[in-house]
């Protein structure tokens, strides 16, 4: 649905502060006038127009279903799923979860240890009701044929397909995906052309792409022109170059030019990079002439950043965390992913941050967060823990039990599992702190573990794998239900 330029002006008028009202409204009026005659590519019947939208960015680990539902709850217009590699999706089986009606794409694990523990792994999950008309699937790919094969698996259940051409992380670039595609524009163009030719008409959804700045404005402009000519409906520009770290401020000098080029082709342009909240997004849109904005880091910390100040603004972390945990249990989110997200949302200075680290179940998380007064939430945690085998029927941690009838083997298994759990928690905590320090988070300087607790990550990983293998071998006679894959 097209957003009226006049409606955009009215939205901005109710969202900006008094100090910025005059210049912002002047820019908005100019944008509205231009929008009356602006060229627009046709939006397919099942697709969505990115114009006038404030959206959740695609984030690996931080963009799983509970995070997307939290963003939508607080007012996000669209949500991008985490980058999903084409090879990971190809070969999956689509199913509908009978308990919560989520659509899941699963496959048999290829990892030998996981094979012993899980019948299936959930590769991707969406909520067809709460995400209806608002979910964009992002592909990590470096091959047109694989991109099309992957997109065909999900296209009927999503509202758009986006190609990742901006992620600078090695897991994406090592195979020519992500930001590596910026160095091979011919390949990127061929991928977009294949998707536009085969997915857009067959499934009536649009194709878009997310990129980064190149070294010079001339190079960026040339690339944007080539991409817009492929038939895409939207382009997101992350206002950083590939080598730049998140702690480095976004560069907006090329933004107006990029938006103008997109508009020449009728393509919607979204700005990404240091977008703080809905009000800030609207200001950037008015100032630089972009059609929408994408929020990443701030949404990772608190999904209520999508709520306008006039509607209540940023919620407390306690409120956001409580809603997130509820969403996580409703959709049977993987427990380790839930714990990871809580370490992003709970301030490092809060005592609860460290108390969450040893938690092994949703029930314990509810207790640590002080949510036991909500009986419905407590019961939901109990059912979820049992479903995911996080606790045994008697309420104890499943990690303390073994299928063996020998008392000594039970003790050994429990000991091995405790070592595995402790090592895993230490590794996860140190990697999380390291990532935050690299991104410029000063709070983490006070969260360094004492020297006696610091471990070599590679050695710990090997030890954890050995311990996990030992436990798996002792429990191999006890098959795990397919639903456990979601844990």
Low-confidence ranges of the chain (pLDDT < 50): 1-36, 113, 115, 400-424, 427-428, 437-487
Long-range contact list for 143-147, CB < 8 A, 24+ apart? Answer: 143/86, 143/191, 144/190, 144/191, 144/193, 144/194, 144/195, 145/194, 146/86, 146/87, 146/90, 147/86, 147/191, 147/194, 147/195
pLDDT at residue 376 in the model: 96
Give the count of beta carbons closer than 10 Å to the beta carbon of residue 367: 15
Q: How far is CA 181 from CA 136, 137, 165, 265, 354, in A?
A: 20, 18, 6, 22, 40
Q: Tell me, what's the pLDDT at 274?
A: 97
The Cα–Cα gap between 240 and 253 comes to 11
Q: Is 167 a catalytic residue?
A: yes
When computed from its CA atoms, the radius of gyration of the chain, rounded to whole angstroms, is 23
Whether 147 contacts 165, CB under 8 Å: no
Q: Considering the candidates 102, 150, 167, 269, report the single residue annotated as catalytic.
A: 167
pLDDT at 190: 98
Closest CA to 136 of 209, 185, 226: 209
Query: Looking at residue 11, what is its pLDDT?
Result: 47
DSSP 55-93: EEPP-TTTTSHHHHHHHHHTT-SEEEPPPEEHHHHTT-E
Domains in the chain, please, with CATH? Answer: 53-314 (3.20.20.70), 315-397 (no CATH)
C-alpha to C-alpha distance for 254 and 338, rounded to whole angstroms:
37
| pLDDT per position as a tens digit, 391-403 | 765 556 655 333 3
What pLDDT is recorded for position 212? 98
Residue pair 50/37 in contact by the 8 Å Cβ criterion: no
- CB count within 10 Å of CB 151 equals 26
Q: pTM, whole model, 2 decimals? A: 0.77
- Between helix 375-387 and helix 317-330 the angle, nearest 10°, is 40
- pLDDT confidence of residue 393: 55
Q: Give pLDDT, residue 429.
A: 55
Show the tokens assigned to 342. Answer: 């809580």
């Amino acid at each position: 649905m097209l957003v009226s330029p006049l409606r955009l002006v009215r939205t901005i008028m109710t969202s900006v502060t008094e100090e910025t009202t005059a210049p912002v409204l002047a820019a908005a009026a100019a944008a509205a006038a231009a929008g009356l005659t602006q060229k627009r590519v046709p939006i397919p019947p099942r697709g969505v127009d990115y114009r006038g939208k404030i959206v959740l960015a695609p984030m690996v680990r931080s963009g799983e279903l509970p995070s997307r539902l939290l963003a939508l709850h607080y007012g996000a217009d669209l949500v991008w799923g985490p980058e999903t590699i084409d090879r990971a999706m190809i070969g999956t089986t689509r199913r509908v979860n009978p308990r919560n009606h989520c659509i899941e794409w699963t496959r048999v694990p290829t990892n030998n240890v996981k094979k012993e523990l899980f019948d299936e792994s959930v590769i991707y999950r969406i909520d067809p009701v709460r995400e209806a008309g608002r979910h964009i699937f992002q592909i990590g790919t470096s091959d047109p044929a694989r991109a099309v094969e992957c997109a065909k698996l999900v296209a009927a259940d999503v509202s758009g397909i986006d190609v990742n051409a901006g992620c600078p992380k090695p897991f994406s670039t090592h195979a020519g995906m992500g930001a590596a595609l910026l160095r091979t524009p011919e390949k990127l163009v061929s991928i977009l052309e294949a998707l536009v030719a085969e997915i857009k008409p067959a499934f009536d959804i649009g194709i878009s792409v997310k990129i980064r700045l190149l070294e010079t404005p001339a190079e960026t402009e040339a690339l944007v022109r080539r991409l817009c000519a492929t038939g895409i409906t939207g382009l997101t520009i992350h206002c950083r170059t590939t080598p730049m770290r998140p702690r480095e401020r976004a560069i907006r000098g090329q933004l107006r030019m990029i938006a103008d080029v997109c508009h020449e082709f009728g393509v919607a342009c979204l700005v990404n990079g240091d977008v703080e909240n809905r009000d800030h997004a609207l200001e950037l849109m008015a100032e630089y002439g972009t059609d929408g904005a994408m929020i990443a880091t701030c949404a990772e910390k608190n999904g209520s950043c999508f709520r306008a100040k006039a509607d209540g603004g940023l919620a407390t972390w306690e409120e956001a965390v409580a809603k997130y945990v509820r969403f996580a249990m409703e959709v049977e989110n993987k427990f380790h992913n839930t714990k990871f997200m809580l370490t992003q949302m709970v301030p490092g200075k809060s005592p609860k941050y460290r108390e969450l680290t040893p938690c092994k179940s949703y029930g314990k998380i509810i207790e640590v967060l002080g949510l036991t007064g909500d009986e419905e939430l407590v019961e939901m945690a109990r059912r979820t823990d049992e479903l995911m085998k996080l606790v045994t029927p008697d309420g104890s941690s499943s990690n303390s039990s073994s299928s063996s009838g020998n008392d000594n083997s039970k003790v050994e298994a429990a000991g091995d599992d405790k070592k595995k759990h402790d090592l895993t928690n230490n590794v996860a905590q140190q990697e999380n702190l390291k990532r935050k320090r690299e991104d410029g988070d000063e709070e983490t300087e006070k969260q360094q573990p004492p020297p006696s607790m610091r471990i070599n990550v590679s050695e710990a990983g090997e030890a954890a794998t050995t311990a996990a293998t030992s436990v798996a071998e002792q429990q191999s006679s006890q098959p795990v239900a397919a639903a456990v894959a979601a844990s």
